[in-house]
């Protein structure tokens, strides 16, 4: 029982991280209708920025805020300078630019800060004694912090999309850019804000996860998280915020339980199981479990 609860909690914590990055993917999708393949590496890069600031004796909270700002600016700049000029051409051009960013950002982080593993301090209490006991299992402070961040972010994002003008504009642009532009929405600015927001959310995911990740902050830290987050975002159909969260948590928990109880999968087939989840979901429901139906006009 204790072991089960422990695995469940660990799964929920990992799942929250996946959900955070999945939210970033969903924001880009809802604002621009494309997928950002470089999302994980963008998050990695901003996390490195935060880590670098902490080595300069900046308080961890300041470093996180700085990372969020860098994430926003980078995201917006990427949209404006790299994605927008090619997006009109087609999906392939967007994919190539994203793959370029993927390798470029990863290597840039390695170039600037070296490839050895870094220790990112946690903004939450994460000492050995900072835990709450749940059914005998230990729930540490930084895990709780990630959960809290996810809940707050989900709330804020829902408010943004449902209650604010800019959120309405984002939905309008994603649904039909031309009509939105005709109705007076400044589509360019909205797209930039969308990418900027997702950059900032990715940065948040990055700084919160690395203190928890077994491999800490290295050049490959974000990779698995990105794969799992895409599975999570697809699970929810890419356009549903709660869907991304449910997807993230489901994948996190499934992963923890499978690797804990099914010895064949162990810790080594994590990516493969995420792959199988993606394919299975897309096969059963191409629009995801929470996704809205898209109709194609001939």
Partner 1 sequence: MTVLAPAARPQAAAPRTKYVIVENSPVHHAIRAACIAVAALGVLWASQLAPFRVGQFTTVFIMAIAIIGLNLVTGYTGLLSIGHSAFFGLGAYTTGVLIVKLEFAPLATIPIAMALTFVLGLLVGLPSLRIHGLYLALVTLAVAVAFPEIVRKLESLTGGAAGMVVRSRYLAPPEWTGLVRAQRGIWMFWLSAFVLVLVMILSRSLIRSRFGLMMRTVRDHEIAAAANGVGIARTKILVFGISGAITGLAGALFTMYIGALSPDGSFTLLKAIELVTGLVLGGVATQLGPLIGALAVVFLPYYTASFTTGPLSGVLFGAVLIALCFLMPEGIAGRLGLLIRRVVTVVPKDHPAPPR
**Interacting residue ranges for partner 1, rule: CB under 8 A:** 34-35, 37, 82, 85-86, 89-97, 99-108, 110-111, 115, 223, 227, 230-231, 234, 268-272, 274-275, 278-279, 282-283, 286, 296, 298
Q: Measured from the CB of residue 109, what is the shortest distance to partner 1 in angstroms?
A: 8
- Residue linked to tokens 């998280």: 225
Nearer Cβ to partner 1, position 101 or 185?
101
Nearer Cβ to partner 1, position 144 or 232?
232
Q: Which of 122, 125, 119, 150 is nearest to 59 (CA)?
A: 122
Q: Is 175 exposed, middle or buried (0-12, 13-18, 19+ CB in 10 A)?
A: middle
Distance CA 142, CA 163 (A): 31
Instruction: Return the structure tokens found at 165.
Output: 């003008």
- Residue linked to tokens 């600016």: 73
Q: Measured from the CB of residue 41, what is the shortest distance to partner 1 in angstroms?
A: 10
Q: Find all residues with CB under 8 Å of 213, minimum gap 6, and list them.
A: 221, 225
Nearer Cβ to partner 1, position 108 or 175?
108
Instruction: Return the structure tokens found at 252.
Output: 């996190």
**Facing residues of 137 across strands?**
134
Nearer Cβ to partner 1, position 129 or 268?
268
Distance CA 206, CA 228 (A): 14
Q: Measured from the CB of residue 138, what is the shortest distance to partner 1 in angstroms?
A: 30
Q: Measured from the CB of residue 270, what is the shortest distance to partner 1 in angstroms?
A: 8
Q: Measured from the CB of residue 108, what is the shortest distance to partner 1 in angstroms?
A: 5
Nearer Cβ to partner 1, position 43 or 144?
43
């Amino acid at each position: 029982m204790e072991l089960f609860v422990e695995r469940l909690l660990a799964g929920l914590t990992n799942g929250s991280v996946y959900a955070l990055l999945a939210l970033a993917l969903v924001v880009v999708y809802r604002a621009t209708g494309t997928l950002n393949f470089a999302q994980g590496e963008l998050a990695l890069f901003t996390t490195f920025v935060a880590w670098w600031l902490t080595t300069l004796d900046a308080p961890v909270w300041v470093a996180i805020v700085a990372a969020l700002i860098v994430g926003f600016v980078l995201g917006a700049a990427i949209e404006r300078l790299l994605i927008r000029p090619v997006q009109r051409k087609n999906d392939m051009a967007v994919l190539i630019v994203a793959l370029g960013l993927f390798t470029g950002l990863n290597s840039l982080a390695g170039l600037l800060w070296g490839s050895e593993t870094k220790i990112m301090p946690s903004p939450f209490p994460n000492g050995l004694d900072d835990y709450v006991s749940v059914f005998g299992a230990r729930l540490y402070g930084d895990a709780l912090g990630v959960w809290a961040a996810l809940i707050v972010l989900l709330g804020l994002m829902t408010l943004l999309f449902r209650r604010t003008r800019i959120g309405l504009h984002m939905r309008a642009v994603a649904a039909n850019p031309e009509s939105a532009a005709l109705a007076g929405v400044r589509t360019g600015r909205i797209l930039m804000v969308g990418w900027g927001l997702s950059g900032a959310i990715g940065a948040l995911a990055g700084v919160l996860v690395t203190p928890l990740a077994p491999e800490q902050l290295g050049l490959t830290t974000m990779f698995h998280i990105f794969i799992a987050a895409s599975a999570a975002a697809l699970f929810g159909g890419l356009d549903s915020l709660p869907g991304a969260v449910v997807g993230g948590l489901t994948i996190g928990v499934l992963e923890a339980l499978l690797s804990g109880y099914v010895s064949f999968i162990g810790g080594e087939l994590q990516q493969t199981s995420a792959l199988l989840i993606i394919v299975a979901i897309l096969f059963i429901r191409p629009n995801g479990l929470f996704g809205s139906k898209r109709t194609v006009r001939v």
